[in-house]
């Protein structure tokens, strides 16, 4: 599939000016279209950049992915505030006579609401996943585990490590638990 980068840039400018008229009034946010990566889209508030992975677009309208990522500027995760933002933008799209975009946004919300879990906390969810993964696959390397956990969350490994400060400690603790379980099993056989 060939991606029209200029069209995506025009979509970004249209969305910024019409659907998010109070966001980025100074036009400081930039759009970067990437060819490959673990993400479909990503926002980076530090450098004011929205990244869109062109290979992830598929049948998704670029405008829907852009709206999704801009809504993340209001909420880092797919929670109540994020969904409220998405629904508001679907309503605004209808007012602007953009029914296809409105339908895509509503479908995106339905998809995420039905597939997302609401963990006690992001970090707790990651730590529990580490413990489960090490129990299921004791030989898994730290690198492979963190890479997989990050990609599942549409992040890069370094971003996940920055957000979950105890990640190495939890991984080492899970490895230690596995060794103790193996040791106990051996002792029980004797």
* Ranges of residues in the chain whose predicted pLDDT is under 70: 1-2, 36-39, 55-61, 115-120, 185, 187-190
Cα distance between residue 74 and residue 109, in whole Å? 15
Running DSSP on this structure, what letter comes out for residue 45? Answer: T
pLDDT of residue 14: 93
The alpha helices in 116-166, defined as continuous H runs, are 122-136, 142-152, 157-163
> For the chain, first and last CA: distance in Å?
62
pLDDT of residue 134: 86
pLDDT of residue 141: 94
pLDDT of residue 118: 46
**Helix 5-18 and helix 62-71, axial crossing angle in degrees, nearest 10:** 50
Q: What is the CATH number of domain 5-115?
A: 3.30.2010.10
Residues of the chain with CATH 3.30.2010.10: 5-115
* Dihedral over Cα of 16, 85, 156, 112: its sign: negative
Q: Say if pTM beats, i.e. exceeds, 0.85.
A: no
User: b vs e for 125-158, b when ≥16 Cβ sit within 10 Å of the residue's Cβ?
Assistant: bbbebbbebbeeeeebeeeebbeebbeebbbbbe
Q: Residue 75, class by beta-carbon neighbours within 10 Å (0-12 exposed, 13-18 middle, 19+ buried)? A: middle
- Say what percent of the chain tops pLDDT 70: 87
pLDDT of residue 112: 78
pLDDT of residue 58: 62
Nearest Cα residue to 178 out of 146, 130, 116: 130
pLDDT of residue 39: 64
pLDDT of residue 119: 44
User: b vs e for 20-49, b when ≥16 Cβ sit within 10 Å of the residue's Cβ?
Assistant: beeebeeeebebebeeebbbbbbbbeeeee
Cα distance between residue 135 and residue 125, in whole Å? 15
pLDDT of residue 3: 73
């Amino acid at each position: 599939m060939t991606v029209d980068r200029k069209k995506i840039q025009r979509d970004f400018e249209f969305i910024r000016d019409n659907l998010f008229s109070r966001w980025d009034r100074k036009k400081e946010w930039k759009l970067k279209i990437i060819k490959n990566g673990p993400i479909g889209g990503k926002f980076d508030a530090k450098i004011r950049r929205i990244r869109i992975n062109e290979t992830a677009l598929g049948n998704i309208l670029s405008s829907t992915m852009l709206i999704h990522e801009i809504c993340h500027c209001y909420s880092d995760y797919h929670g109540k505030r994020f969904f409220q933002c998405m629904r508001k933008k679907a309503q605004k799209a209808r007012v602007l006579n953009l029914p296809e975009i409105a339908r895509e946004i509503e479908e995106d919300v339905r998809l995420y609401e039905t597939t997302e879990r609401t963990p006690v906390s992001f970090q707790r969810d990651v730590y529990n996943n580490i413990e489960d993964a090490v129990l299921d696959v004791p030989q898994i390397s730290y690198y492979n585990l963190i890479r997989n956990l990050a990609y599942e969350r549409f992040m890069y490994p370094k971003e996940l490590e920055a957000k979950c400060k105890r990640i190495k400690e939890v991984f080492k603790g899970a490895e230690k638990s596995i060794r103790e379980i193996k040791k106990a099993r051996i002792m029980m056989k004797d």
